[in-house]
Structure formats: C-alpha cells, structure tokens
Structure 1
C-alpha cells in the first residue's frame, strides 16, 4: 500500500502559509531575528527563528485562543491549511477513518511558564484551568483530532528534532493498516525564558548565528513553527481526485549508542535502512536535506555519513533550516515539506548563511539550484541520540501532480 502526501500546511519563521514559506526558502531569505517575545538581553544567545505576523484570533475560534499555547495555535492553523490543501471532507472517511500523529518536544512551554508565573506571583486562583492540558506534549495531536474529527488511532512522537520524521513513519504504518487518512508532521516552539534556558543548558546554542557545515559553525539557533502534512492511501487519494506531492517511499529510525561505547553513531544506519525500505540505492538519490546541526562535531559526523554513502561531493545537499532555526518537533516535518515542494518544482533551495562548506559535500549555497529531482533523502537527529531518515519520491501513479507526472 502506497502512502502519499496530499496536503501541506506551513507556519514558519520564513512565512505564514506554504506559498509564502516556499518563496522565501527558494530565495534564501532568513527568518532569524533578535528575540522580541521576551527580554533576552541578559542571556548569552539572543537570536531565534520567530513566526512573524501571526495573530491567533485571525485564524482560530475565539474560544480556543485562551485555551492554547502559541505552538498549538500555529499547529491548528497549519493543520487547517493542510486539510484544505488536501480537499478534506470529514464525511468521506467514516467515523474512524482519520488519525492524527504529530511530533512534540516539551509541549506548551510558553503557556506553562506564564501560568507558573501567575502561581508564584499571584496565587493558585490566578492559574488558568486550561493549564491542565495546554502544556501537555500531546496537546497538538489532541486539539487537531478534536477540531477535525480524527477518531482513528492517534499518537505523539517525542524524539526532539527527529520527531517530524518519526511521526510520518508512524502515520505511514497507520495507512498501511487501513486508516485512509492521517494528519501528521509537527509544529513546535518554546520561545519563553523557561524554554530558552532549557535550550541554553545544552551548550549547543550559538550566540552569533546558525551556519551548518560552515567553517565558522559554533552551534544552532532555536526557532518555532513547522509543518502539518496530510498522509493518505494513494488509491483513496486517486478515488477522490486529489493529486499527490509525492510518496513516502522509505523510513527508518535508530538510536545512537550510549556514551562510552566504542560504536559508531546511528545516523548512517538510519539512512541505509530507509534507502533499503524504499528499495533504492544511493546512486538513485538526487538530493539530501541534511540534519545540519551547526555544531562542528555533529556536522563532521553527518558529512562523513554523506561521503560514505554517496562519495565526496557525490550528491547535492541542502539545509534550508539555517533560515528558520531548529524547530524542535517541527523541524524535520518542515524539511519534509520542503523536500516535497522541491520534487514538485524541480528546484533545490539554498542553505542561507553559509558561503562555503568546511566539509567535502556539495552543499547548495547562494542560490537555489534547478535539478531533475525524483528521489530525495531527508535526515534528522534529535537531542538524546535519536536518528531518523525518510525517502520521498515523486509519485507517478494515478493522482500524481500533473506538473510532475
């Protein structure tokens, strides 16, 4: 059974909506700005990817706004756009024909921070009753399922930056087991003092900029946002007359060995397993969306994986996330959306902020590159040793997008 993507919804630091995001991404425009959501002047890092121009009341019913964290508001907005893109009609799928599987990291951190501050400063009577669920890491899945009638098997994957790919992998399992449509991907964010301190505690956040694979790389920058995707059985989509952006051809996940063991990291194994799942060889891969940690040692490991699989400068590599920051549970889902749009348009976006890679890889920099893309590998790693890989392929069956068929 073939699982295809029929809908994409994006809320990102580089654009609200898929079209805005994609135009900015192709042009290499950055959404990294000084933090203005709280006073970051006393912190060693003050830059992040912030979604601009988003007012929740313009996109959601007024009753939902006080109940939800900003990340959930962004997720609900992206989810509505993705389902609209897929021409979703709830009555067409039956009571249990729609599932929701999303990625998350810490949940509604900004909401939780605000309510805990109310508790400390004012007392328990000033804590919102919605704190009971608005902070929860599974809240995006819950709110999306309630709003759109997703009563099939639902879930949440918590593997940090790798989560967006893991969620799609789980969604594909649901489709193969008979669920015709799954809302998946991830939207995340924690741009509050509480969330910021947690990020800084890793020692991996840059104080100057996000330059993955570059000679001046000294860490990543966090951000907020992501992408919600509609994953559907190809036959179901064709029966509805809905074109597909591409198919999820392969997926795999691995875990790094614990520190102290004389064993290699698991990223290469994840890539090899995903390629095997898709029944493609490295020579058939047209491009790679890299995890691109921006941390010198992690970049070195990933560059070695790419060179080991494809040879030095063997395949075009891109990391448009340098324009958005690493988006926790939303980052890999946004990369996957970009990969699907690349397949659609035959263009690979650049890696903003990097003039020349400090590794023997063919990193796309400066300007977008037009290429005949058919098969793309997307890589992701999450803090704690999580690795994930997805192979997306242009869909040639009935219901393929007319411009890629």
Structure 2
C-alpha cells in the first residue's frame, strides 16, 4: 500500500496570509503578539495575535461576503491558497477531492450575536436570516467547498486543541477507505471578544496570561503515487497519528504518563526510533500540563536531543487551529524539499479535558 503523504500546504496566520509569511515569521522567531484595540476588541486580554488587516472582502472578494464571518473567511482564504495549484485536477474530477476542516465551535461570535438579536429584537424572529448559516458548526467547511468547487466528502471535526490532529486522522481514514483520491484537511480559528471571554473563564489561573491567537492551516494529503504522478514533492509521509485519554484529566502526572505512552506507540507504528526525531513541536500551553507535556516527550525520546519549536510563544493560543499550525510549522522548517529520509518530526498536544495526541511525520523514504 502506497504511503500517504503531505504534498502541499497553506497557512493564514498572525504572520500574514500564505505559507511564505508564515515561514518567514517562524524563521525569524518573531512574536506576532501585539496590543489589541480595546474599542474594537473589548475583553479580558490586552494582547493578541491577529491576522494583520484581514477581512473577507479583501481576501475572499466583495461579492457574496457581506455576511461571511471571520472564521469562514479564514478557512476559505487558506483553502484557496492551496487549491490554486490544483485547478486542473479539481475541474476534471471535483468529486475525488475531499475537505476535512477542524473548528472549535464554528464562530462563537456568530452564534452569540444571532442569539442576542433574537432576544433584544421587537420579535424573536426579527433577525437577519442571511446570518443564520454562520451559526452552524460546518459553515466554514461548507463554504470552503462551495467557493472552490470541491465536491468530494465534506467533514467538520471539533476536538479542542487537538482538532488539527483529529482532522488529519480523519483524512487518513477517508483515503484508506477509498472514499476519494485526495483530501484537503486542516483547521481554522478566529479571534473575537466572545471567544476571549469564554477562554478566560475556562482557563486555570496560571494560564490566563497566555494571549489568544487566530489562524488556519490546510494540507493536501494523498498517496505517494498520486503525488508523484502529479509532479508534486512529497514533503512528509504521515507515519502515525495517535490519541489517548487520561484516566484522571486533572492529574498532571497522569497526563505525562499517558502522552509518553502515546508517543512511544506512534513512533513504533511509524517505524521510527527516538534518534530519528529531529524536531518536536509541542502544544505548550500554560500551567502544569505544559510542563508535563515536555516531560512526557523527553521520557519517550530518552537521550535524543531534537530541536524544539514552541509556536504558541509566537502566535498565541490558537485553540482549534493550534495543532494544524504546529504541523505547518514542521513543514515550514523542513523547507521546499520536505523532511529528508531518516528524519522525523513529532507534533504533540495535551488538552485540558484529558485527551492527548501526537503525530509523527517522516521523510518520504523513511518508513521501514
């Protein structure tokens, strides 16, 4: 069976729109966290990492975007950055391309604004019906497919900070099951005052200093054979994606042990030894779970000394988009030729609900 590979990617991040600004910001180690305009974004956070000068009208177009919310615009923009090189394939066989998009709760702002309008209006039904579609979770995935004429399987995945890894795992199953020939998968998250307050109240005290961020990352996943036939470089093979649940979500030591076991299982499934791991990209949130995440990775890798990239320090807490942006960072660091044979990158995450997950990306010829 031909291995599945990532052969292209796109990102919309606080560094800018597109893969190149993301790569440049990452290479420079530049923090995109800045003070927020308190009039535009009142809320508990004084700083945030926002996509600069981003609007739906500017990046998606003025026609048909009057009621498009921010998370949908971020997703449509990012998918567009990827499909521009797939125009001929999409036109020939649009039903053979699937889209798996991760999200938090869709647009929290849209949901709350629409609900508020139904309560404060003269009549509960005196709302803008054009904005109702923004309140459903699969709005971004649906619009991403409609705007870019993708007619294959269309799926929305929601799973906290591990959403990006869950979307990748789902994409792998779609391809292995023969449901389509290629999948665009990733995740998107917006910044809003409503999300800021929800995050503030949901965090532990020691995590409240971490500013919020936003963004989106999308990947083209296909078989190595399909990538070669299309003349695309296999940037990384998907060695393994694994998840586990902690028996005691509040126990940091339990999270450490569970994630360490998860990483060992993924490395074994990918046929990769700890010494082959060249890069680690942890979720690295605040508080005890972040400490235990790092400890778990070191437990699993033993004496190996890979490079660590803590993206959250640069772009803030991007929530549902976090692990997708971590995957994008792994690809950005590997350059245009991708991971070399014998190299591997490890992406990890620990969610505060007790779920842990990881993905192992390898050089296209690294599996044994």
Structure-2-length-normalised TM-score: 0.88
Pairs within 5 Å for 1:6-405: 6-36=7-37, 43=44, 45-86=45-86, 89-92=89-92, 94-123=93-122, 124=124, 126-178=126-178, 179-192=180-193, 194-204=194-204, 219-259=209-249, 264-265=254-255, 266-295=258-287, 297-311=288-302, 314-344=305-335, 374-396=343-365
List gaps (5 residues or longer) in structure 1. 207-216, 349-370, 398-405
**Count of residue pairs the alignment pairs up:** 361
Residue 86 of structure 1 deviates from its aligned partner by 5.0
Higher mean C-alpha deviation, range 120-129 or range 135-144: 120-129
SS at match of 1:19: helix
Contact 2:275/2:301, CA 8 A, preserved across alignment: yes
Higher mean C-alpha deviation, range 384-393 or range 122-131: 122-131
Q: CA RMSD in A?
A: 2.8
Call closer, same or farther: CA 1:343–1:162 in 2, change over 3 Å. same
Call closer, same or farther: CA 1:109–1:235 in 2, change over 3 Å. same
Higher mean C-alpha deviation, range 129-138 or range 161-170: 129-138
Structure-1-length-normalised TM-score: 0.81
Contact 2:281/2:310, CA 8 A, preserved across alignment: yes
Contact 1:28/1:320, CA 8 A, preserved across alignment: no
Residue 4 of structure 1 deviates from its aligned partner by 1.5
Contact 2:32/2:49, CA 8 A, preserved across alignment: yes
| Counterpart-to-counterpart distance in 2, 1:54 and 1:60 | 10
Call closer, same or farther: CA 1:321–1:141 in 2, change over 3 Å. same
Higher helix share: 2
List gaps (5 residues or longer) in structure 2. none
| Counterpart-to-counterpart distance in 2, 1:305 and 1:72 | 35
| Counterpart-to-counterpart distance in 1, 2:240 and 2:113 | 41
SS at match of 1:67: coil
Residue 26 of structure 1 deviates from its aligned partner by 0.7
